Amino acid sequence: MNGKKYKRAITYGTYDLFHIGHLRLLKRIAEMAEELYVAVSSDEFNALKGKKCIVPFEYRKEIVESLRMVTKVIREDNWEQKKDDVQKYDCDLFVMGSDWTGKFDFLKDYCEVIYLPRTEGISTTEIKQEIKDH
């Protein structure tokens, strides 16, 4: 056994201005599962969430796909698809950052749900603000 507790993990994110916090979160998830599926939010879905991306979806997807710990990248188009994705891709682990704690507990009927702590001192929102201030 390779020491990994789960067969397939899935996580979701925008991954705009890909930074060390994104990388560390994905590495931690990959250490827990044999495979890591990552859903990248589409530009249209981000617009519905009130988020404006600097980097277009196709580029964000390509960046995440290039990471060796990522098995597969899928497109996220709406809030409701999470349950369907967990079932469709036979995921036994769902992981999000701790800023989402409790929001996806409804998925516990289908898989393990874990919220991991965010990397201290970095976020895309803070980076965008820093750029704006300069």
Convert the pLDDT of each residue in 68-112 to its tens digit: 999 999 999 999 999 999 999 999 999 999 989 999 999 999 999
Residue from 5, 7, 27, 49 carrying the catalytic annotation: 49
Supply the pTM of this predicted model: 0.89
Does residue 49 carry a catalytic annotation? Answer: yes
Residue from 4, 51, 72, 128 carrying the catalytic annotation: 51
Does residue 7 carry a catalytic annotation? Answer: no
Tell the burial category of 23 from Cβ atoms under 10 Å away from its Cβ (0-12, 13-18, 19+): middle
Question: According to the model, what pLDDT value does residue 17 have?
Answer: 85
The helix or strand, by DSSP H or E, that contains position 47, with its residue range, turns out to be helix 43-48
